[in-house]
Structure 1
Amino acid sequence: MSFRGNSKFFVFGFLFLFIALILDVIGVATPYWFYAEKNGVKIYGGLWKSCLDISGSEESKCNKYEDVPDWLKAVRGFGFLGILVSTLALTSASLKICLKDRVSLLIIAIILSFISALCSVVSIAVFARKYPNLVIEMIRNDLNFNFSFIFCALFIVLSAFAGICMIIQIAKRTSYSTIDGR
């Protein structure tokens, strides 16, 4: 399998990076990082707002966080930084497709994919430690992580796999060269 002269490892890395970016954007943007339900009261929220849904009520009430704690600002910042760096990695990999002899673009994409994964690790680690502080005491013990949090965790795995696949692309490229560099 070839993608404009690139091996299947590059193609898989590129696809992993693309899917990871989509998952991270959804994860950071949606209010479903945590979820809890107790006595007919459902509460869920994310980085930007939290929502309360009482059974028998027609609609849920969502509110933006009024007094945003510093740890949540850090989670938001690292989440957004992960998206930004992942976008740059995908751009670099896209340029590598157009300029196929530019190994430096591939190296940049590899480094950026690992940096974006690291940003997301910081983001979800801080959130996992601090998120019970966002909700009322009566429901705190019933909190669970929801799909947005899981999407950000999957982003870490896929972004790392993308970097590994692209490293294999470089290794394959250098293993076929001869002693004189051709």
Structure 2
Amino acid sequence: MACGGNSCFYGFGLSLLILGFVIDVIGVASPYWILGEAGGEKAYVGLWQICSSGSIDTHSVTECIDVAEVPDWLKAVRGFGILGIILLLIAVLGAFFRICLKERAWVLVLAIVLSFMAAICIVISVSVFGEKFHEIVKDSSIFTFHFAFVFCILSTIITGIAGIFLIVEVAKRSSYTSINGR
């Protein structure tokens, strides 16, 4: 046993949950889901803002504006993205409470369920956005997915792996205790 009475599976799972949460927050919040480049001009599209950058003479200019008219599918992408963040936050807090409540296995089980629910919400968010990609950009030859989109995908993978590590922790503990901790 390591990690204060918990196995290293718990430590890895908690660390990956925190990493998945941070990466998902960065991914959902940043305006870099799509990048378009043409003739020295760049355009970045995110869930909340659209940014453009270029150069006038020798000065670099960047301007961001909020998305004015939000279509229903983008509202769904935003909603599932935020729901994924909230569920991940609660999963991280639940996993932290496991340190204090060693005798309560249900806290860790709750963190596992919430981590997988968060991963599903993030997958829905990314899938809907990816499906609508060609509607957003008419000329897909100059537009590509950018790092924030990839961060959300990575967050899903990391969160799923964290859930698996936490499942192993519960399985190891349940071999010598019941789900009630007795």
TM-score normalized by structure 2?
A: 0.91
* Residues 1:109 and 2:106 aligned together: no
* Residues 1:30 and 2:33 aligned together: no
Post-superposition offset of 1:51: 1.1
- Provide the residue aligned with 1:71 in structure 2: 73
Pairs within 5 Å for 1:1-182:
2-56=2-56, 58-135=60-137, 137=138, 139-176=139-176
Secondary structure, counterpart of 2:50 in structure 1: strand
Secondary structure, counterpart of 1:140 in structure 2: coil
Letter in 1 for 2:123: V
Post-superposition offset of 1:142: 1.8
Within 2, Cα distance between the matches of 1:82 and 1:172? Answer: 28
Within 1, Cα distance between the matches of 2:121 and 2:24? Answer: 11
Secondary structure, counterpart of 1:117 in structure 2: helix
Aligned residues: 178
Within 2, Cα distance between the matches of 1:87 and 1:54? Answer: 37
Judging by fraction of residues, say which structure has more helix: 1
Letter in 1 for 2:104: R
Q: Deviations over 1:57-76 (max 9, x none)?
A: 53122111111111111000
Within 1, Cα distance between the matches of 2:154 and 2:92? Answer: 17
Q: Is the contact made by 2:13 and 2:166 (CA closer than 8 Å) also made in structure 1? A: yes
Post-superposition offset of 1:171: 1.2
Instruction: Point out the more displaced range, 114-123 or 168-177.
Output: 168-177
Instruction: Point out the more displaced range, 115-124 or 168-177.
Output: 168-177
Within 2, Cα distance between the matches of 1:69 and 1:19? Answer: 31
Post-superposition offset of 1:177: 5.4
TM-score normalized by structure 1?
A: 0.91
Q: Deviations over 1:36-74 (max 9, x none)?
A: 111222111210011122343531221111111111110
Letter in 2 for 1:22: V
Aligned-pair identity in percent equals 45
Which runs of no fewer than 5 residues in structure 1 stay unpaired? none
Distance 1:177 1:80, change over 3 A: closer
